[in-house]
Structure 1
C-alpha cells in the first residue's frame, strides 16, 4: 500500500529523511476546473470562474471579484487554488482568522506596484471573510473597486448578513451547492485509483463507498478524510504489509467515523433554514418531515426552549381555532421542557410536534388579528361608542357614558343586540373561520351571533 511518508534526500543525497505525506484531501485537490466535482452551474463557458481560471485578460476588462458562498467541503478553497494556477497572475492567500487591515493594505499596495510596473494581475484569496469586521472589510474596497486586486472571498455564512453592502455590490456572488451523492462517490473512486491517492493499492467495495458517501453528507473533504482514516485502519489490520490491495470493510469505516456529523450552525443559515423547514412541515401537515427536522436540531444541540417557543407560535398562527387544544398543548410542552431539560425534553417536543402536524389547520385567527391591527394603524375606529365607555365615576352619565348599555346576561341566551364596534367599523368581519376542524362548528355559530348582535333595535 502507498507509504504514508515522502522520502527526502539528506546532504549526501540519500533518501533517509522522511516526512508525513499531505492529507488525502490536499493531494486530491483538483488542478483544473474540469477536475472539479459538482458546481457545474458555475462552470459554463465564459462564466466568471472560467474567466478567473483561464482568461489572460487584465485591467478594467479583466475578471470581476467574486464571493464564494456555501457550506464546508464543497470546493471553495479548491476553486481558489485552481485559479492560483493561472500563470499570468500572482496569487496571494490570506485567512480572515489571522489577517488584519495591515495585511490587506500590504497586499493591495504590492498589487498596485505589480500591476503598474510589471503588468501582473494579483488574485487575493481571502478565506472566512465573514470573520472580518466592517472596518476590515472596508479596507478591501479601494483595491476591489479599482481592480488593483481580483478578490476571491470564501464564506460559509450568508453574505447578505456577513459581508458589507459596498463590497457585495462590487463583487459577483456565486453560491456553491452541496455536492450530490454521485459527485462524492466519483471523488472516492478517483482517490482510490489516482497516483496522488492510493494508486489502486486499495479496494473500496461499493457498499463501503456508499457508507462513506452517506456519512460525508455532501462534504468532499470529510469523505476523503474518512476514506484515508479507514485505509489506515485497514492497513494496520493487515499488519502493515500486503501483497494484494488492502480491502476496506464496514468495520474499518465505522472505526474511522462512527456517525455522521450533522451540519448545523446555531447562529447561521442552518439555524434559520432548518427551523423554517420544521415550521413549514408542521403547517403542511407532514408529520414525518417535521420529526426529521426536530431530530436534526436536537442532535445538533439546538436549545429545546427555542423549539418550544416556535411550537407555541405555530399553534396559534397555523392551527388556531381549528383545534383549540393545540395552543394549550404547546404551552404545556414548553413548560415541561423547562422543567425537565434534555434528553427527556425531546419526548415532549416530539409529542407536541406530532399533535400540531396532524391537527386541522386554520390561520383565520392570525389573519383576523393582522387585519384589525392594520385598521388601527390607519386610524380607524378611534371613537369608542358612548354606551360602552366607562361609567363608574361620578359625572360619567352626564357625559352619556354607559347610557343605553345592555348587560349581556340580561338578554336572551346572554347575547344582546347592540353596537360594539366603532361607527366606522360597523359590519367589518375580521374573523372568517374556515371549514376545518372545530372551526366548522364555530363558523355556523358565529353567523348566528353576528346576526343577533347587529340586529337593529
Structure 2
C-alpha cells in the first residue's frame, strides 16, 4: 500500500513538474521521425509506419508486434510512440511483476474503453520471455480479437521464449544495437533540447567520448550518465561537464582506450599474448580494459576464436569449441552479461595447453604451394565419376580405406612434388601428445606401400 502511495505521489510531481522526470523519459521521441537508429524499421510503408496510421486510411497493420533487441535500443520508446501517434490508451506491464490477473484486468479495461469510448488500447508488455506458457496463453484471445494492440518486448530469442501461437499472430521486428553516431546525436540533442538540459551546460568532446564508451550502445544508460554528470557540474557551478566531474558522478574512471587508434590494437594484442603466455590474470586485466572502454564484444570474441586455433590448436581441440560458443552467446546477449561469457572463454584459453603446430603446418604447406610445389594429383585420386574417366586411368587402383583393416590405405596421396613432406609436427603438450602418437603410427603405415606404377 505504501508503495502505491509513493508511486502516486511521484507521478503527481512529474505531472506538475516535467523536469522532475528522468532525462531518459523527457527525451523520449514523440514521433517515429525523432527515433534515432533502427532505420531498417522506419522506412516509408514499414509495419511501424502503418501501425501509427501513416500513409492514410488510419491505423493499420498487425494486432501484435514483438520487439526483439538488446537493452536500450528503443523497445519501450517505440511502444510509447505508437500509442501517442493515434491517441490510444497506453498500458505498460512488466512480465517480471505482472501475472495473468493483471493481464486480464488490462484486457477487460481495453474492451470497456473500446466499447464505451471508442478508444483503442496499446498493451506494452516488457520482458515477455519471463512469462510462462500459461501466462502467454492468456494474451491470445485479446490478440486474436484485436481487443488490444499488443507490443511485446524481449531481449531473448523469441523463437525459444515465446509460444508458437503468439509468434504466428505477431510481427517480429528485430532491433539493432545503436551505433556510436546514433548515441552521439542523442546526447547532443539532450544537451541542447528544452526538454533535456536546455543548454544549461556544455558537453566537451572528451566527456562525450567517455559517455559513449560507458553507454555500451544503451541509450538509456547514456542519458542516465549524462544527467548525473550535468547535475554534478551544475552543483559545482560549472558551465560544462568536465571529465573528472563525470567520472566522479558515475563512479567510472575513463579508460585510456581509442577504439580506432593504437590503444585498440595494443590492448587487443596484449590480451592475446597474455593468453598465449598462460597468464590468466593479465589476460583478464586486458579483457576488463576492453569491456570498460566499450569495445565491441564481437571483436573480442573474434580474437578469442583466432587464439583458440593459433595458440592452442590440437593441444586442446575443445578450445575452439569454447571460443565459438562464446562468440555465439555474445551475439545473442550483448553487454553487460557478455562480459561474463568472455571472461569464461578467456580463462579457459589462458589455462589450456598451448601448441602453434596448426599455424606452422598450414604456413609450411602454403609456402610450398607459393613456391610452385604443387604438381598433378595422383591418377588414382582423381575424380572418376564421369564418362571417360576409366579410359584416362582416373581412379584406377584406388584403395578404399574403409574396406581395409585399421581404416588406412597405404597409397600415395600427395603430389610427387611434395610426397614425403611433413608439415604437421605435433607438440607433446596436452591432448596433442596423444595425437602425436597416433600420427606416428599412421605415417608408418602410409609409408609401407608398394611403388606406384605409372
Per the normalisation by structure 1, the TM-score is 0.58
2:246 maps to 1:259: no
**C-alpha separation in 2, matches of 1:259 and 1:29:** 25
Aligned length: 326
Alpha-carbon distance, 1:447 to partner: 4.9
Aligned to 1:74: 73
Aligned to 1:437: 424
CA separation of 1:213 and 1:110: change in aligned 2, threshold 3 A? same
For the 8 Å contact 1:435–1:443, the answer to whether it is kept is no
Aligned to 1:205: 204
1:200-279 equivalent positions in 2, closer than 5 A: 200-238=199-237, 246-259=239-252
Aligned to 1:269: none
**C-alpha separation in 2, matches of 1:62 and 1:348:** 49
Alpha-carbon distance, 1:79 to partner: 0.8
CA separation of 1:21 and 1:139: change in aligned 2, threshold 3 A? same
Q: Tell me, what secondary structure is at the counterpart of 1:203?
A: coil
Aligned to 2:445: 449
Alpha-carbon distance, 1:58 to partner: 7.1
Aligned to 1:399: none
CA deviation string 1:206-236 (max 9, x = no partner): 1211111111111111111111111122122
Aligned to 1:295: 287
For the 8 Å contact 1:319–1:362, the answer to whether it is kept is no
1:174-193 equivalent positions in 2, closer than 5 A: 174-193=173-192
2:128 maps to 1:136: no
**C-alpha separation in 2, matches of 1:229 and 1:65:** 36
For the 8 Å contact 1:74–1:177, the answer to whether it is kept is yes
1:87-126 equivalent positions in 2, closer than 5 A: 87-115=86-114, 118-126=117-125
Aligned to 2:32: 33
**C-alpha separation in 1, matches of 2:189 and 2:284:** 33
Q: Tell me, what secondary structure is at the counterpart of 2:52?
A: helix
**C-alpha separation in 1, matches of 2:228 and 2:243:** 13
CA separation of 1:318 and 1:198: change in aligned 2, threshold 3 A? closer
2:138 maps to 1:151: no
CA separation of 1:58 and 1:314: change in aligned 2, threshold 3 A? same
**C-alpha separation in 2, matches of 1:358 and 1:207:** 45
1:298-309 equivalent positions in 2, closer than 5 A: none
CA separation of 1:152 and 1:105: change in aligned 2, threshold 3 A? same
Q: Tell me, what secondary structure is at the counterpart of 1:360?
A: helix
Alpha-carbon distance, 1:45 to partner: 0.8
Aligned to 1:50: 49
Q: Tell me, what secondary structure is at the counterpart of 1:94?
A: strand
CA separation of 1:445 and 1:228: change in aligned 2, threshold 3 A? same
CA separation of 1:229 and 1:354: change in aligned 2, threshold 3 A? farther
CA separation of 1:292 and 1:174: change in aligned 2, threshold 3 A? farther
CA deviation string 1:69-104 (max 9, x = no partner): 111111111111111212353322222122211222
CA deviation string 1:394-424 (max 9, x = no partner): xxxxxxxxxxxxxxxxxxxxxxxxxx97779
Alpha-carbon distance, 1:357 to partner: 7.7
Per the normalisation by structure 2, the TM-score is 0.59
**C-alpha separation in 1, matches of 2:17 and 2:112:** 40
Alpha-carbon distance, 1:445 to partner: 6.5
CA separation of 1:106 and 1:437: change in aligned 2, threshold 3 A? same
**C-alpha separation in 2, matches of 1:151 and 1:347:** 41
CA separation of 1:209 and 1:298: change in aligned 2, threshold 3 A? closer
**C-alpha separation in 2, matches of 1:357 and 1:58:** 64
The root-mean-square deviation of aligned C-alpha atoms, in Å, is: 4.9
CA deviation string 1:338-390 (max 9, x = no partner): xxxxxx99996463469468853999xxxxxxxxxxxxxxxxxxxxxxxxxxx
Structure 2 unaligned blocks of 5 or more: 1-8, 10-15, 255-271, 293-304, 321-342, 363-400, 415-420, 428-435
CA deviation string 1:400-454 (max 9, x = no partner): xxxxxxxxxxxxxxxxxxxx9777996679xx99975326998796354046499
CA separation of 1:345 and 1:20: change in aligned 2, threshold 3 A? closer
CA separation of 1:109 and 1:326: change in aligned 2, threshold 3 A? closer
Q: Tell me, what secondary structure is at the counterpart of 1:247?
A: coil
Structure 1 unaligned blocks of 5 or more: 1-7, 9-16, 239-244, 262-280, 301-312, 331-343, 364-419
Aligned to 2:84: 85
